[in-house]
């Protein structure tokens, strides 16, 4: 098919995407958001615990402390147990395991990536989720099941927030301080803080002036709304509700708010791309037919497809993998004329993306009755500029007479008053404001972690990383012996984040096991090995810069300023498949290249 046969004009789409991006780019980038601290700290109180657990401060010594009880911490704990390590303590600020699934219990919360791929350790726990995309409560339950299966509840400290940690070089121990007055010592520490766990608020005037009820989606207030994660928010009968933000979270909870509130205003700055969800219960015959190794095979198949590597079969076959399907159809259509050079594939990929997004825009047009609302709900950017969303009720919600989309044409809301939200110069009076404004991503690592780490030379991680992250493989950093970081920074990005966490957990457990088995006191990356990895990350980051630069702002592209993010703070530009291979080859070498071991 030639450009003239296409049912859309690529040049016109490129120009439209650019214009929509340009009107949203703001000089203040990440600075536009408010840190949830000080006057705003109520927004992060835990609404899910009955009472604060009393216990005495601890000053004991543990072999491995894992900070964070989400999938990262659980996977690290599981792999450490597999390696035969018994003395482990998980520290978690929530009241139980689950991490993001502990906090995000908003109505409609569910897995966005197929659950057979997304939920970790399914084969190990002999479990198959009940739906293709399971609801949040089941994911939280699975997190608890992992904790129980690997005995990670033993010695765990919940409702405990790390406030700082420092390396004691004489004792070769980390001293971990917490908000409970603990001064715990540990030989090794794994930081599995989670990348999206510090809620953020829009930096606009008036949030503290507002006299109605308000909360962030990651601390859903069911005491106020009534109902539960399944919806039926009876407390909202007779209430006018405003929700700010239309990202992946809002897309899942808006249908429930729309169903229950007397009036719902959805304040939109940029529409999300809403593809078909098509959720369905798990077929028991299929579940019974699964052969050992099925989950790894499925995870790898999915990851390859969403990384742009065609596969003989698409095991997941959903909206995530569909774009690759469209690319393959395009290449097949072109037959022998297909240009399979990297530039040729990139050009075909762009056309496949246009085709996909035209389909998404048509879907909004077909489902939403009011033409202006339908138009405002159309996303004008490439599919992976923002987190793609999948939902079968979100768009329909705007056909309810009680639901209004307040589109701000890229500007966002103006301010908040005592009585409501001002957008496009109009005040909307509401009884409750729900902030679906997401989580901190581009801020300093320590600010996001919520604590500072002081290394062997008395420098903090923030000081060391002032000009950008410095690690080997995103996992270990010079001056910070026996410390392991689980995060996407300088590591391979995966659509299904637990896949990356699983690979990092295996890697970390390998190093710790090796150190313990060989009576090693400390493991520290050598400066040369670290510098080489940083350079590799910088070199590879150039590949994705033009794409990110063309995207509408969001946390994927540092709020429209990808060039301002230190190139070395990006994920590994060679992609997750290459990154996983690098880790596997490094382990296969057996000599822990680049690490200095001290006895």
Tokens representing 211?
């006299």
Burial pattern 119-141, b for ≥16 Cβ within 10 A else e, equals: bbbbeebebbbebbbbbbebbbe
Of 249 and 522, which CB lies nearer to ligand NDP in the complex structure? 249
Q: Which of residues 172-231 bind ligand NDP (CB under 6 A)?
A: 196, 202, 204
Q: Which of residues 395-414 bind ligand NDP (CB under 6 A)?
A: 412-413
**For 414-496, where are the alpha helices, taking DSSP H only?**
445-449, 461-464
- Binding-site member from 260, 270, 301, 504 for ligand NDP (CB under 6 A): 270
Counting residues that bind ligand NDP (by CB under 6 A) gives 26
Interaction mask 541-560, ligand NDP, x per CB under 6 A? -------------xx-----
- Binding-site member from 25, 83, 248, 566 for ligand NDP (CB under 6 A): 248
Of 110 and 453, which CB lies nearer to ligand NDP in the complex structure? 110
Among 145, 142, 148, 150, CA closest to 78: 150
Among 417, 465, 470, 415, CA closest to 443: 465
Q: Strand 415-416 and strand 420-423: pairing?
A: antiparallel
Question: According to the binding rule CB under 6 A, does residue 422 interact with ligand NDP?
Answer: no
Among 202, 232, 94, 102, CA closest to 157: 94
Q: How far apart are CA 37 and CA 248, in angstroms?
A: 24
| Interface stretch with ligand NDP, choices 70-78, 263-271, 376-384, 537-545 (CB under 6 A) | 263-271
Question: According to the binding rule CB under 6 A, does residue 379 interact with ligand NDP?
Answer: no
Question: According to the binding rule CB under 6 A, does residue 416 interact with ligand NDP?
Answer: no
Q: How far apart are CA 219 and CA 229, in angstroms?
A: 12
- Binding-site member from 107, 194, 235, 245 for ligand NDP (CB under 6 A): 245
Query: Is residue 555 within 8 Å of 438, Cβ to Cβ?
Result: yes
| Interface stretch with ligand NDP, choices 144-152, 233-241, 248-256, 589-597 (CB under 6 A) | 248-256
Of 80 and 486, which CB lies nearer to ligand NDP in the complex structure? 486
Question: According to the binding rule CB under 6 A, does residue 98 interact with ligand NDP?
Answer: no
Q: Find all residues with CB under 8 Å of 141, minimum gap 6, and list them.
A: none
- Binding-site member from 13, 76, 110, 395 for ligand NDP (CB under 6 A): 110
Question: According to the binding rule CB under 6 A, does residue 135 interact with ligand NDP?
Answer: no
Question: According to the binding rule CB under 6 A, does residue 420 interact with ligand NDP?
Answer: no
Burial pattern 207-225, b for ≥16 Cβ within 10 A else e, equals: beebebbbbbbbbbebebb
Helix (H, G, I), strand (E, B) or coil at 341: coil
Q: What is the DSSP letter of 381?
A: S
- Binding-site member from 68, 94, 438, 560 for ligand NDP (CB under 6 A): 438
| Interface stretch with ligand NDP, choices 40-48, 86-94, 140-148, 432-440 (CB under 6 A) | 432-440
First and final C-alpha spacing in the chain: 65
Question: According to the binding rule CB under 6 A, does residue 430 interact with ligand NDP?
Answer: no
Of 271 and 575, which CB lies nearer to ligand NDP in the complex structure? 271
Tokens representing 456?
């062997």
Question: According to the binding rule CB under 6 A, does residue 25 interact with ligand NDP?
Answer: no
| Interface stretch with ligand NDP, choices 249-257, 341-349, 391-399, 456-464 (CB under 6 A) | 249-257
Reduced 3-state DSSP string for 354-380: HHHHHHHHHHHHHHCCCHHHHHHCCCC
| Interface stretch with ligand NDP, choices 107-115, 156-164, 529-537, 543-551 (CB under 6 A) | 107-115
Helix (H, G, I), strand (E, B) or coil at 234: helix
Nearest-10 crossing angle of helices 294-306, 319-334: 60
| Interface stretch with ligand NDP, choices 37-45, 243-251, 311-319, 454-462 (CB under 6 A) | 243-251
Query: Is residue 386 within 8 Å of 552, Cβ to Cβ?
Result: yes
Residues that bind ligand NDP (CB under 6 A): 110-112, 196, 202, 204, 244-250, 252, 267, 269-270, 387, 412-413, 436-439, 554-555
């Amino acid at each position: 098919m030639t450009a003239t046969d296409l049912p859309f004009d690529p040049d016109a789409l490129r120009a439209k995407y650019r214009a929509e991006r340009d009107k949203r780019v703001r000089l203040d980038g990440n600075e536009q958001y408010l840190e949830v601290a000080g006057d705003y700290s109520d927004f992060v109180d835990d609404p899910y615990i009955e009472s604060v657990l009393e216990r005495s401060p601890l000053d004991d010594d543990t072999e491995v402390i894992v900070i964070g009880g989400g999938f990262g911490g659980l996977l690290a704990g599981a792999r450490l147990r597999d390696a035969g390590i018994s003395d482990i303590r998980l520290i978690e600020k929530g009241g139980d395991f689950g991490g993001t699934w502990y906090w995000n219990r908003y109505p409609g919360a569910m897995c966005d990536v197929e659950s057979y791929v997304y939920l970790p350790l399914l084969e190990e726990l002999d479990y198959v989720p009940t739906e293709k995309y399971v609801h949040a409560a089941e994911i939280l339950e699975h997190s608890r099941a992992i904790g129980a299966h690997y005995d990670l509840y033993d010695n765990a400290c919940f409702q405990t927030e790390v406030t700082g940690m420092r390396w004691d070089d004489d004792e070769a121990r980390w001293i971990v301080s917490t908000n409970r007055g603990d001064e715990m010592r540990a030989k090794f520490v794994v930081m599995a803080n989670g990348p999206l766990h510090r809620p953020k608020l829009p930096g606009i005037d008036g949030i503290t002036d507002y006299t109605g009820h308000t909360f962030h989606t990651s601390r859903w207030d069911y005491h106020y709304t009534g109902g539960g994660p399944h919806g039926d928010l009876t407390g909202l009968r007779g209430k006018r509700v405003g929700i700010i933000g239309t990202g992946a979270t809002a897309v899942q909870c808006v249908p429930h708010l729309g169903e229950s509130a007397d009036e719902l205003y959805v304040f939109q700055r940029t529409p999300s791309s809403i593809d078909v969800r098509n959720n369905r219960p798990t077929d028991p015959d299929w579940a019974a037919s699964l052969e050992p190794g099925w989950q790894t095979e499925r995870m790898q198949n999915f990851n390859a497809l969403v990384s742009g590597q065609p596969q003989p079969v698409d095991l997941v076959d959903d909206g995530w993998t569909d774009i690759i399907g469209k690319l393959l159809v395009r290449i097949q259509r072109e037959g022998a004329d297909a240009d399979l050079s990297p530039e040729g594939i990139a050009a075909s990929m762009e056309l496949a993306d246009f085709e996909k997004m035209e389909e998404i825009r048509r879907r909004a047009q077909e489902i939403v009755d009011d033409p202006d609302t339908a138009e405002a709900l159309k996303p004008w950017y490439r599919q992976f500029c923002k987190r793609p969303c999948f939902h079968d009720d979100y768009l329909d919600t705007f056909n309810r007479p009680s639901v209004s989309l307040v589109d701000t044409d890229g500007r966002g809301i103006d301010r908040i008053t005592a009585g409501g939200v001002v957008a496009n110069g109009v005040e909307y009076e509401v009884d409750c404001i729900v902030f679906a404004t997401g989580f901190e991503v581009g801020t300093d690592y320590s600010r996001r972690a919520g604590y500072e780490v002081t290394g062997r030379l008395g420098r903090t991680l923030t000081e060391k990383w002032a000009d950008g992250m410095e690690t080997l493989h995103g996992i270990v950093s010079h001056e910070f012996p026996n410390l392991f970081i689980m995060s996407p920074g300088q590591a391979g990005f995966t659509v299904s984040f637990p896949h990356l966490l699983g690979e990092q957990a295996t890697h970390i457990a390998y190093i710790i096991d090796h150190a313990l088995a060989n009576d090693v006191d400390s493991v520290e990356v050598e400066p040369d090995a670290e510098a080489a990895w940083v350079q590799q990350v910088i070199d590879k980051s150039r590949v994705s810069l033009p794409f990110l630069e063309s995207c509408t702002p969001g946390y994927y592209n540092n709020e429209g300023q990808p060039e301002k993010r230190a190139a070395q703070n990006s994920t590994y530009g060679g992609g997750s498949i290459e990154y996983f291979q690098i880790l596997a080859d490094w382990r296969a070498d057996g000599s822990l290249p680049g690490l200095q071991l001290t006895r």
